[in-house]
Amino acid sequence: MKDTNCIFCKIAAGEIPSRTIYEDEQFRVIMDISPATKGHALILPKEHYANLYEIPEEVAADAMKLAKKMASEMTQRLECDGFNLAQNNGEAAGQTVFHFHMHLLPRYKEDGNQEKFAWNHLELSEDEVEEIYQKLTK
Ligand code: 5GP
Ligand code: ZN
């Protein structure tokens, strides 16, 4: 299914032009319009799923297989020093386009993002940690 109001549906379908670096029946991989690093790209499924909760398991598995393939190929071509995969779900997690996508982020020593990609660590009490552990396991 496509969503007629969704920009990534239109890009994935080729209705809006994009710099496409890979395409098959299921996915299009495009260069991000506002790259965080040199070569920042996005894997878009051609079908519309808002996020990880909605995407079928098999499509998610295929997206991860493609991410692995793209990471190897891009690392070779760009001679980057490392690689991040990122995938945001929901506003609270930083999602701004509500069509599932995976960020492919080639990383370079001193690429200016060393801090941005890190996160702060919480200082939780033993009780708080235990409470979360119980929620995750009971
Ligand atoms: P999110 O924050 O939802 O995980 O990521 C959305 C990403 O899509 C951002 O990195 C943003 O720069 C990128 N983006 C938004 N609109 C467009 C567009 O029209 N074309 C391309 N190529 N990238 C886009
Ligand atoms: Zn869409």
pLDDT at 82 exceeding the cut of 70: yes
Residue ranges around ligand 1 (CB below 6 Å):
7, 18, 30, 32-34, 42, 88, 94-97
For residue 30, how far is its CA from the centre of ligand 1 (angstroms)?
10
**40 in active site:** no
For the ranges 49-58, 116-125, 127-136, the lowest mean pLDDT is seen at 116-125
**The ligand 1 atom nearest the CA atom of 7:** 19
Average confidence (pLDDT) over 52-71: 98
pLDDT band at 1 (very low <50, low <70, confident <90, very high): low
**Stronger pLDDT, 2 or 74, i.e. the higher one:** 74
Residues 6+ apart with CB under 8 A from 96: 88
Distance of alpha carbon 50 from alpha carbon 89, whole angstroms: 8
| Amino acid code (one letter) for 2 | K
Which pLDDT score is estimated for 4? 85
Which pLDDT score is estimated for 3? 82
Using CA positions, which residue lies closest to atom 1 of ligand 1?
95
* Burial (CB count <10 Å: 0-12, 13-18, 19+), residue 31: middle
pTM surpassing 0.85? yes
Annotated catalytic residue within 48, 101, 103, 121: 101
